[in-house]
Homo-oligomer: A and B are copies of this chain.
Amino acid sequence: MNAEIIAVGSELLLGQIVNTNARFLSQQLAVLGVNVYYHTVVGDNPDRLKTAIEIAEQRSNLIIFTGGLGPTKDDLTKETIARHIGKELVMDQAALESIELYFRKTNRAMTENNRKQALVLDGSHILPNDHGMAPGMVVEDDGHIYMLLPGPPKEMEPMFSQYGALALSLQLETNEQIVSRVLRFFGIGEAALETEIIDIIDRQSNPTIAPLAGDSEVTLRLTAKHIDLNTANSMLDELENTINKRVGEFFYGYDNTSLLEELTKCLKQKKMTIAAAESLTGGMFQQELTSIPGASSVIKGGVVCYSAEVKQNVLKVKQETIEKQGVVSEQCAKELAENVAALVSADIGISFTGVAGPEELEGKPVGTVYIGIAIKGRPTIVEKLNLGGTRNANRIRTVKYGCLYLLRYLKESQNAK
Is A354 at the interface (CB under 8 A from chain B)?
no
Is A152 at the interface (CB under 8 A from chain B)?
yes
Known A-B contacts A14-B30, A16-B210, A36-B13; the reply to A291 vs B392 at CB < 8 A is yes
Size of the chain A interface, CB-CB below 8 angstroms: 110
Residue of B nearest to A299 (CB): B306
| A397 CA to B164 CA, complexed, in Å | 28
The interface residues of chain B lying within 8 Å CB-to-CB of A145 are none
The interface residues of chain B lying within 8 Å CB-to-CB of A108 are 189, 192
Taken together, the copies of this chain in the complex come to 2
Which of B22, B41, B307 is A300 in contact with, Cβ under 8 Å?
B307
Contact across chains for A40 and B37 when beta carbons are under 8 A apart? no
Is A70 at the interface (CB under 8 A from chain B)?
yes
The interface residues of chain B lying within 8 Å CB-to-CB of A302 are 283, 303-304
Report A372-403 CB contacts with B as 1/0, cut-off 8 Å: 00000000000000111111110100000000
Contact across chains for B287 and A314 when beta carbons are under 8 A apart? no
Report A19-39 CB contacts with B as 1/0, cut-off 8 Å: 110111111111000001111
| A345 CA to B367 CA, complexed, in Å | 29
Which secondary structure dominates where chain A touches chain B? mixed
- A143, chain B: closest CB distance, angstroms: 20
- A133, chain B: closest CB distance, angstroms: 9
Contact across chains for B301 and A314 when beta carbons are under 8 A apart? yes
| A284 CA to B276 CA, complexed, in Å | 14
- A147, chain B: closest CB distance, angstroms: 16
Residue of B nearest to A309 (CB): B300
Known A-B contacts A191-B71, A290-B283, A387-B106; the reply to A40 vs B39 at CB < 8 A is yes
Report A290-314 CB contacts with B as 1/0, cut-off 8 Å: 1101011001111111110110011
Give 12 CB contacts A-B under 8 Å: A12-B26, A13-B26, A13-B36, A14-B30, A37-B45, A105-B367, A108-B189, A282-B287, A286-B304, A290-B356, A301-B305, A309-B344
